[in-house]
A and B are shown apart, each in its own frame.
Chain A
Amino acid sequence: MVFSSTAVNLIYLLSSILFVYALKGLSHPRTAVRGNQLGALGMLLAIIATLLSAKLSLEVIFAGLLVGSVAGAFMAIRVPMTGMPQMVALLNGFGGAASLLVGGAVLIEVQHTSQEMELSGLVATALSGLIGAVTFWGSLVAYLQLQEVVLKGKPILFPGRHALNVALVLGSVVLGAMLVMNPEQTNTYWLLVAAASLLGVLLVTPIGGADMPVVICLLNSYSGLAGAATGFVLNNTMLIIAGSLVGASGIILTQIMCKAMNRSLANVLFGGVGAVAIDKNAQEKIYAGKIKSVSADELAMLLDGVRRVVIVPGYGLAVAQAQHATRDLMHLLEARGVEVLFGIHPVAGRMPGHMNVLLAEADVPYDKMIEMDEINPLFDQTDVVIINGANDVVNPLARTDPKSPIAGMPILDVDKAKTVIMIKRSLSPGFAGVPNPLFAMDNCLMFFGDGRKVTLELIASLKEAAA
């Protein structure tokens, strides 16, 4: 059975509408599950319609569908919530790879059947290859950095990298133009892909750990735009719609992340923040004699009779796997009538919403996760702030020192609370490499140790004090 092209296109339209509903559902946690299911249904319909759109030989197709489904399901089931940034990076990359492969295959098919491709189709093919390759290799490097297989999240900077990037961009443009003029030279396409691959690697290697949220959002938007470009190649409006929705999503998230760090996209991509040497003297001057360390028992006493506690999680919480212990602490405090809230900075963690997912995994209700603009006015009516694994996002230098790498970054105003408890292994600086004057403030107490271990100690002390 082969469907008419009208029938197929109508099903594609239905799929497009379902994709829109998928994103619409994400406007609230209650409707999000349904939305995601509608999106999946739309995708299933699109696949079935395509299989019925022409006489296709199905063995290779089913082999591919099987391999992809098994691998995808395996990854989705196995990945721990702390590994979600890596997972998303990898998925972005596969989307890009698919786009570049389809672009290449279509180009060869057109030559093989001696058809003519329109100018716009050729430009779109070149763009599929370019964006697809940058996305694939960039995502792969991001994955390796996040997984800490290589680089350990530290940016790699080498002299002349900007010149090399410019040369690669220009080279890609020239190769793209050559392809458009002489599409029968399909090798040009693979040369373009090679240049774009190198570009993808070089664009991401200089970007360090805490800037990863921006990279992930940007690659997300690229994977969408590569899909949209493939839509132009195939004259397929559904591909264009889905690709643009994803592209828009990535672009908006990128903007939100950049704004939350008060840095331009160019500065994140090319600034090389995180590679600076730490100034030990400046650190010594700020901290000398002013650091107060506190024990679990002392903290248990301090938490007696408080009314509101705000917990500020950061990447360190994910590293220490402290989300479940933190949830237990929340329950314990709530049982004593304390109001417990979570203050979440937009760039806390390694991807947008990273902390929310971790806390949700530990059964923290989402209405307790408060975003920055809403939690900040509450700090001066907060008795105790417990910071676990965050540093730069609570650094008051952002407000006071215009020369600091984090100058002007909106921060959580934790120093306005009565008491601040900083859970941290040592006094080492955060990703930005600057000391944090918060540690030396009168109302700040350092609770040294591993984020999970000390939270468990605190819980034990609280229970003991109550017994």
Chain B
Amino acid sequence: MDQFVLLLTVFAMAMYLGTELITKVPPTLHTPLTSGSNALSGVTIVGALLSAGTKHTTLTTVLGFLAVSFAMINVVGGFMVTNRMLQMFKRRD
């Protein structure tokens, strides 16, 4: 249970930090913010890699493979499309 409270503390602090960071993002960048944060939520890939690589059962391997694929679309697609947009905002600087 102590472990859980520790994780909950991290969760609460990160939510607070996120709130502070996001309120400073100008409205002009709200679309890249959405796609960029989207890429970050692809961090579930960490769990997916473990499920895909430990080969407990065929089912978990299949689930893991699908999860790795989905999370990787999120990560690669998210960061690349965000980069594409941000370059457009930058080039007039």
Give which listed residue, A63, A73, A234, contacts B65 with CB less than 8 A. Answer: A63
Min Cβ gap B80→A in Å is 4
- Assess A230 versus B18: contact at CB under 8 Å? Given A23-B37, A67-B72, A76-B84: no
Enumerate chain A residues within 8 angstroms of B17, measured Cβ to Cβ.
Answer: 20, 244-245, 248
What size tier do the contact residues of chain B reach?
A: 35 or more
For the complex formed, measure the closest distance between the CB of A420 and the CB atoms of chain B, giving whole angstroms.
Answer: 23
Instruction: Say whether A98 contacts B70, CB under 8 Å.
Output: yes
Residue picked from A106, A245, A247, most chain B C-beta under 10 Å: A245
Alpha-carbon gap, A43 to B38, bound state (A): 12
Contact, CB under 8 Å: B75 / A72: yes
- Residues on B with C-beta less than 8 A from A311 are none
Cβ distance A390 to chain B, nearest Cβ, rounded Å: 16
Contacts A39-B39, A95-B71, A227-B43; A56 near B34 (Cβ below 8 A): no
Contact B38 A91 (CB under 8 A): yes
Q: Report whether B60 and A366 are in contact in the complex, using a CB–CB cutoff of 8 Å.
A: no
Most A CB atoms within 10 A — which of B1, B27, B92? B27
Task: List the A side residues contacting B71 at CB < 8 Å.
Answer: 68, 94-95, 98
Interface residues of A in 23-74 (CB under 8 A from B): 23-24, 26-30, 32-33, 35-37, 39-40, 43, 46-47, 50-51, 53-54, 56-58, 60-61, 63-65, 67-69, 71-73
Known: A29-B29, A216-B34, A354-B31. Is A47-B45 also a contact (CB below 8 A)? yes
A237–B10 contact, CB under 8 A? yes
Q: Does A241 contact B (CB under 8 A)?
A: yes
Q: From residue 233 to 250 of chain A, which have CB atoms closer than 8 A to chain B? A: 233-250
**Closest chain A residue, CB of each to CB of B3:** A235
B29-A71 in contact (CB<8A)? no
On whether the beta carbons of A243 and B48 are closer than 8 Å, the reply is no
**B14 touches which one: A40, A245, A356 (CB < 8 A)?**
A245
Interface residue ranges of A98-136 to B (CB < 8 Å): 98-99, 101-102, 104-106, 108-109, 112-113, 118, 120
User: From residue B75, how far is it (CB to closest CB) to chain A in Å?
Assistant: 6
**Chain A residues packing against B (C-beta within 8 Å):** 15, 19-20, 22-24, 26-30, 32-33, 35-37, 39-40, 43, 46-47, 50-51, 53-54, 56-58, 60-61, 63-65, 67-69, 71-73, 75-77, 79, 81, 84, 87-88, 91-92, 94-95, 97-99, 101-102, 104-106, 108-109, 112-113, 118, 120, 216-217, 220, 223-224, 226-228, 230-253, 256, 344, 346, 351-354, 356-357, 360-361, 363, 365-366, 369, 371
Assuming A26-B32, A224-B41, A246-B41, what are 15 further A-B pairs, CB within 8 angstroms? Answer: A23-B37, A54-B50, A56-B54, A60-B64, A60-B68, A77-B84, A120-B1, A231-B7, A234-B46, A235-B3, A237-B10, A246-B18, A246-B38, A253-B34, A353-B34
Please list 8 pairs of residues, one from A and one from B, whose beta carbons are closer than 8 Å in the complex, sorted by A's number: A53-B50, A71-B72, A84-B85, A91-B74, A91-B78, A228-B11, A246-B40, A256-B30
